[in-house]
Amino acid sequence: MIVDWSATGAGERDGRDEEEYLNLATVQLHLLEAGFHIVEAQERRETFVVIGALR
């Protein structure tokens, strides 16, 4: 399971530069390229959640 700040979030957070945030589609692509199967993916207000398993 991966939970992180989303690049497409509402922008109501403090912390890192927004350039460091990834969007959900990019994270899913990286996981698929690394051999993971995506079980579930959800975009939330400020974050995203991706649940995956190795193939």
Q: What is the DSSP string of 7-55?
A: TTS-S---SS-GGG-B-HHHHHHHHHHTTEEEEEEEE-SSEEEEEEEE-
pLDDT (0 to 100) of residue 15: 64
pTM of the predicted model as reported, rounded to 2 decimal places: 0.81
Integer CA distances (angstroms), 53 to 3, 5, 19, 28, in order: 15, 21, 28, 12
pLDDT for residue 7: 87
Amino acid 30: pLDDT: 96
Phi, then psi, of 4 in degrees rounded to 5: -150, 165
Please list the pLDDT of the chain residue by residue as tens digits (55 residues): 999 988 888 777 666 666 788 999 999 999 999 999 999 999 998 899 999 999 8
The predicted structure's pLDDT at residue 26: 95
HSE-up of 50 (CA within 13 Å, CB side)? Answer: 21
